[in-house]
Structure 1
Amino acid sequence: MKRAVLLRFVVILLLALAVSSAFSYYFIGKNMLQHDMSAMLNTIHAVDYALDYAGDLQEQVEKLHAAAMDENSRITVIASDGTVVADSQVDHPDVMENHLDRKEVKEAFAEGRGSDTRSSESLGESMLYVAARSANGRFVVRMAVPYTNVLDYMIGIFPVLLLGTGIAFAVSVIIAIRFSDTITTPLNEISREMGKVHGELPEFTFKRYKYKELNVISETTMKMAAEIQAHMDQLEKEKKIRQEFFSNASHELKTPITSVRGYAELLDQGFIQDEATKKDFYTRILKETDNMTNLINDILMISRLEAKEAEVTFSTVRIGPLLTEIFESAEPIAADYQVMLHKECTPVSIEASAKQMRELIMNLVSNGIKYNHPGGNVWVEVWAENEKLYIQVKDDGCGISKEDQERVFERFYRVDKGRSKKMGGTGLGLSIVKHIVEYYNGSIKLESELGKGSCFTIELPLQKRIVDE
């Protein structure tokens, strides 16, 4: 076993040294790049300090460059609209193309500084660009140097790194040969100790090796690997859900943004002259921005509930007065849809967040109103039983099909997509309800029949939610 372990040690050592050398090579280059960028930023700030932006910037830049800078470097001054107003290597910068789309320029205007590495269109060679916003905030001063300076340095130090790696490998192999017992002895000790643990473990199938010392280690490792795999599967599932969530959120935001842009462009270009039509467009823009605001608020609420980061203030919430308040808010909507609201509530209180309880009930009542018909009804009944709070919201509206009932609590799922969007729904209402219920370790039940209505029954513990440690 000692010989096999030694061979594996040499292989692993070789790989480790190769990886270590690669990382060293990478980080040395990165540190050098950072050093060069820092020096360039200092130069940019000095140029910014020296420039009189009210004067002839082209003349000033040429003088500064000739007096204090390397001939391979380049200084460019760019206005906030992307126009190049001065360049140390171009006599007539006004003929240069707009630079507002350059990565380093965009970053500098947005964040104060920016950088990029790419081939210069005007010089035809690879350049390192560093830019910073001017002190007055109206310009960006950019400096560029040939990127080959960094590459030449890295090529120069490669033989040194290679020699150092070779020496380290040779010394390590000699030490490994002389002290291989220090590897096998701990393995034997671990095998004996893990054998003691093995007796307490249930049966577990694992791959057997020709080295008996590794069998117990393998068994335990395989068991831990199975547990890790289960966690990885869960993480992968959560990652997929998160990706779908952001994909759907982007899609949902795209529609109102496109609408707002369309209305705004028509108004901006002067195609709409009629005042009534203008007012209608302004109203539509406000409506779409309200839809975006509601969607963003709902997304934030779900994200905080999932991350257990919701800012929750617990208090004794009296459901009766809360329900009265919700009905008062919902009455105008119910009147618009010609739907009657009914409530029956026994005197009951719960230790919870008043804001979350309002959100929970309001979402269900709002759905009951909007997915109903003229002359329809929405009933809300609240009662307590066996230390549990029950909230039942029932309507005689359009109902939900069996197929849709399994998915109504998913994010952005809509039973009637056209109708939901027309009414300004975000597709997150029932998902928020489900998350709030789960936050309080409760449950929600849906009973519905297409064309006859729906009934949501929520069960929550009356005592304060206990947070898992």
Structure 2
Amino acid sequence: MKTKLSLQWRLTLITTLCIAVICGCLTLFVYGNGVYYIDSLQHTVDTQLGDGSNATSAEIYIGIPDDAWDDFVSDFSVQVYNNKADYKKNSLLFSALMALAGGVATYFISGRALKPLCEFSDKIEEVQAQNLSDSRIEESSVAELNRLSVSYNRMLARLSEAFKTQRQFTANAAHEFRTPLAVMQLQLDLYNSTEHPTNDACAQQTIRMMTEQNERLSKMVKTLLDMSELQTVARDDEIALDALVEEVLADLEPLAQEKTIHLTAQCDAVTMTGSDILLYRLVYNLVENAIKYNTPGGTVTVGVAMQDKHIRLTVADTGTGIPEELKERVFEPFFRLDKSRSRALGGVGLGLALVREIVNVHGGSISVKDNPDGGTTFEVVF
């Protein structure tokens, strides 16, 4: 079995090696520099001796005539001073260069040693609720990272099981709610289809209110059921987005005419792989919201374009807009920007939450921006 060296030991060995190399180079430099300048002093003395006839290999004898002594002292003092200055300058310069070289080397070497940690971080950035099973990290050769990988994979398994349990509970609850709601709706329809002479206005109003709320609950249950089943829907259809947008606008044209809203499409011929049913629902929900929360006589513009290898789908309206601090909260389940208006329009507060889930399962992102012409723009990027 291959021995796994810890990250701490790796960095320790790297730093120790760099220090040893730098100290060795400095030692060699100091030694070489010292020998050089001592030899230069010897050269000064030899120059004063002429051909060096008074010096032997066994001993050095310096004989300086009296008339040359002053010149020798002057030249020797200058030489000593210059050697000291050169030695100081060269030592500082070499030390600075070696420190810089050591820092650069340590930076790149430690970066290579920490590369597994960077890869680990990048892998974590890709994790989403929809791809937990595909986000497992392979065993690492670094001891600390290997333990972290094991713990991380176990955490993913627990999260995956928790999400699965949550989706299963939501689906089961939605299924259980549908039966009593259908029975209630059947009884209400039967009651409304029969004349009851004894009914007063209060009873009629109560029946009407119960019918509206029952329909609203039915829509909510259907949406919750759709959200719980998103993971099981096949996403391998080849979809022409421009044709899909045209289909959505045609289906919503009656609602737009009722609200006196003008629908326009500015779509390039773009295709993508995904779920035709889910993407239709995505565009439908965005356009329907843009119509409902628009101002009378306003415009809804749907655009599809390919930019920088990304598909951009935009739905822009000319409504009253969304405050900056609430632009992220509009995707929360049951969040309402204007509760009284939302209820009057028949919304259940799950339309944009479902849109975000559909975007996520297709590996995209969605954001809310201000429309330069007034209102709001929803931008989806695949």
- Name the TM-score, length of structure 1 as normaliser: 0.43
Is residue 334 of structure 2 the alignment partner of residue 334 of structure 1?
no
Structure 1 residue 232, shift from structure 2 partner: 8.1
Partner Cα distance (1:415, 1:272) in 2:
42
Cα gap change, 1:407/1:274 in structure 2, threshold over 3 Å: closer, same or farther?
Answer: same
* Paired position in structure 1 for 2:377: 455
Structure 1 residue 337, shift from structure 2 partner: 1.9
* Paired position in structure 1 for 2:300: 378
Q: Secondary structure at the match of 2:295?
A: coil
Q: Secondary structure at the match of 1:412?
A: coil
Deviations 1:240-297 (A, max 9, x none): 9879989x989x99xx99x979989x98xx9973598877766655543432332122
* Paired position in structure 2 for 1:415: 337
Aligned partner of 1:341: which letter?
Answer: L
Q: Which of 295, 314, 330 is the equivalent residue of 2:237?
A: 314
Aligned partner of 2:351: which letter?
Answer: G
Alignment of 1:20-419 (within 5 A): 197-199=3-5, 201-203=6-8, 223=148, 226-227=151-152, 230-231=155-156, 273-274=198-199, 284-305=209-230, 308-312=231-235, 314-315=237-238, 317-419=239-341
Partner Cα distance (1:271, 1:323) in 2:
47
Aligned partner of 2:232: which letter?
Answer: E
Q: Which of 348, 353, 357 is the equivalent residue of 1:426?
A: 348
Deviations 1:153-200 (A, max 9, x none): xxxxxxxxxxxxxxxxxxxxxxxxxxxxxxxxxxxxxxxx7xx5442x
Deviations 1:415-458 (A, max 9, x none): 12222122121211111111111112112121138994110111
Is contact 1:295–1:426 with CA below 8 Å preserved after alignment? yes
Q: Which of 429, 436, 445 is the equivalent residue of 2:367?
A: 445
Q: Secondary structure at the match of 1:455?
A: strand
Structure 1 residue 348, shift from structure 2 partner: 2.4
Cα gap change, 1:244/1:398 in structure 2, threshold over 3 Å: closer, same or farther?
Answer: farther
Cα gap change, 1:438/1:359 in structure 2, threshold over 3 Å: closer, same or farther?
Answer: same
Is contact 2:170–2:224 with CA below 8 Å preserved after alignment? no
Partner Cα distance (1:236, 1:456) in 2:
32
Cα gap change, 1:369/1:223 in structure 2, threshold over 3 Å: closer, same or farther?
Answer: closer
Q: Secondary structure at the match of 2:229?
A: helix
Partner Cα distance (1:224, 1:387) in 2:
33
Deviations 1:84-113 (A, max 9, x none): xxxxxxxxxxxxxxxxxxxxxxxxxxxxxx
Is contact 2:170–2:225 with CA below 8 Å preserved after alignment? no
Structure 1 residue 392, shift from structure 2 partner: 0.8
Is contact 1:260–1:285 with CA below 8 Å preserved after alignment? no
Aligned partner of 2:357: which letter?
Answer: H
Aligned partner of 1:294: which letter?
Answer: K
Cα gap change, 1:233/1:374 in structure 2, threshold over 3 Å: closer, same or farther?
Answer: same
Aligned partner of 1:379: which letter?
Answer: T
Tell me the matched-pair count.
247
Partner Cα distance (1:299, 1:273) in 2:
39
Q: Secondary structure at the match of 2:273?
A: strand
Structure 1 residue 360, shift from structure 2 partner: 0.9
Q: Secondary structure at the match of 2:330?
A: coil
The gaps in structure 2 that reach 5 residues or longer are 10-142
| Higher fraction of strand | 1
Root-mean-square deviation over aligned CA pairs:
4.8
Q: Secondary structure at the match of 1:203?
A: helix
The gaps in structure 1 that reach 5 residues or longer are 1-192, 205-217, 461-469
Q: Secondary structure at the match of 2:302?
A: strand
Deviations 1:359-390 (A, max 9, x none): 11111101101111212211111122344322
Partner Cα distance (1:325, 1:377) in 2:
18
Aligned partner of 2:198: which letter?
Answer: Q
Q: Secondary structure at the match of 1:294?
A: helix
Partner Cα distance (2:236, 2:158) in 1:
34
Partner Cα distance (2:378, 2:215) in 1:
28
| Higher fraction of helix | 2
Cα gap change, 1:352/1:241 in structure 2, threshold over 3 Å: closer, same or farther?
Answer: closer
Aligned partner of 1:362: which letter?
Answer: Y
Cα gap change, 1:417/1:235 in structure 2, threshold over 3 Å: closer, same or farther?
Answer: farther
Is contact 1:301–1:310 with CA below 8 Å preserved after alignment? no
Cα gap change, 1:340/1:275 in structure 2, threshold over 3 Å: closer, same or farther?
Answer: farther
Cα gap change, 1:418/1:280 in structure 2, threshold over 3 Å: closer, same or farther?
Answer: same
Q: Secondary structure at the match of 1:427?
A: coil
* Paired position in structure 1 for 2:97: none
Q: Secondary structure at the match of 1:341?
A: strand
Indicate the structure whose relative CO is greater, using CA pairs within 8 Å and at least 6 residues apart. 2
Please tell me whether Structure 1 or Structure 2 has the larger radius of gyration of its CA atoms: 2
Partner Cα distance (2:210, 2:340) in 1:
19
